[in-house]
Amino acid sequence: MPPTPDPVEDDLDTLPPPPPVFHAEQALLGALLLEPHRGAQIKGITAGAFSTAAHAALFAAIRSLPAPDPAQHSRNTAWLNQVLAAAGEQTRGLTTAYLHHLIQCCPQPRHAPAYARIIEEEHSRRLLRGAAHRLIQTTLDTSLPHRVATTLAEAGALTTVVDDIATRFPTRSGSLPRALATTPVTTRDEEAGEEEQLLLATATARPGSVERMRWLVPGDFTHPLHAGLWQCLTTLSRSGTPIDPVTVLWEAQCHGIAGTAEPRELLGLLSDPDGCDPDYWGEQILQRSLLTTAHHTGRRIEMLTDDPATTTYQLVVGARRALADLSAVRVRWHHATTPVPTNSPARNRYSAPPRAGPPPTTAPPAVRSAR
């Protein structure tokens, strides 16, 4: 008769092994329990840096109690009992046996600062991962009343975390972070395509807006054909060439941008403007580009933190590179939405004329309110 499986043992067998930092936490706590005077060597680490509630409670208890006399500590367990009682007020399940187990887990008490450094590095990784995750979630939350502002605030908080890590872990020589294969978020939806078509048509009908909208670049578009046509419009505008559907079509052909689209189809796309200001549609496209870039930034940083082989130095370098891409879009968004003040009534390069809201037949309420 086969033996009856023990559900408790089976559950324990399925638990993943603890990560390396868990053993560093045990070693540090063991060093401080065995030789409490080592606590004076531990700087810049708090109970929040530990991965478990039990370890955090023990470290907080050790910090809260004055170190005992070494001679007295070697003869009795009075101080250990005080630590256990103080930690027990914060969490349950701690025993005297576990404290002795921690002491046995410490290879060398004099290496306590090295153990603390390991814990601090892993805590920094967790903080960075959490900030990146919050940025990702913000970009996806369509219920936010001020989605872009909230996203940029989360990006600022993420930047603060990166800068704090860089301060606590000075730059040292080392390899750059490995290039990670990321899966871009698909943004080529029907709403985005309609907005891009409306911009192209209205900008073709009002060529003066193209020069004013230097804050919009082809990379902001979700459809390659639309990106190419916007490039044609900006090229014609900057060269002083007249702009209308035919000249844009010819520019697209000269640069091989038209692709498989029929000339009549492109002429129809460029000849169907609405009554809206082109700047309005440009801002909608730029807003979508900013949110998409912020999402990609969070995902890149999150993937870096998920790779255990990525060092703290590589985390800082990789995160700053990802944030630089977002910062570039943020600057363009600022130019698009904040006209530069002037002393004369003349319109400056980034200002826009008074705008009428999009007509109900061309812009759904969700599009009109997204700003």
Contact 156, 135 (CB under 8 A): no
- Segment 30-84, tens digit of pLDDT: 999 999 999 999 988 999 999 999 999 999 999 999 999 999 998 999 999 999 9
What pLDDT is attached to residue 2? 47
pLDDT at residue 7 tops 90: no
pLDDT at residue 1 tops 50: no
Signed CA dihedral, 94, 97, 99, 102: sign only: negative
Structure tokens given for 110: 């004099």
Lowest-pLDDT choice from 265-269, 304-308, 331-335: 265-269
Q: How many CB atoms lie within 10 A of CB 190?
A: 7
Query: For residues 38 and 179, what is the distance between their CA atoms, to the nearest angstrom?
Result: 40
> Percent of the chain having pLDDT more than 90?
68
- Classify residue 240 as left (phi > 0), alpha (psi -120 to 50) or beta: left
Structure tokens given for 266: 């492109």
- Segment 91-135, tens digit of pLDDT: 988 999 999 999 999 999 999 999 999 999 999 999 999 999 999
Contact 151, 286 (CB under 8 A): no
Query: For residues 39 and 349, what is the distance between their CA atoms, to the nearest angstrom?
Result: 61
- Segment 256-277, tens digit of pLDDT: 886 667 888 889 989 888 778 8
Task: Please state, rounded to an integer, the average pLDDT across all residues of the chain.
Answer: 85
pLDDT at residue 231 tops 60: yes
Which of the four pLDDT bands, split at 50, 70 and 90, describes residue 346?
very low
What pLDDT is attached to residue 259? 67
Angle between helices 224-239 and 190-205 (to 10 degrees): 20
Number of H helices, E strands in the chain: 16, 0
Report the predicted TM-score, pTM, of the whole model to 2 decimal places: 0.80
| DSSP annotation string for 204-223 | HHSTHHHHHTTT--GGG-SS
What pLDDT is attached to residue 341? 61
- Segment 161-182, tens digit of pLDDT: 999 999 998 766 555 665 555 5
Query: For residues 155 and 295, what is the distance between their CA atoms, to the nearest angstrom?
Result: 10
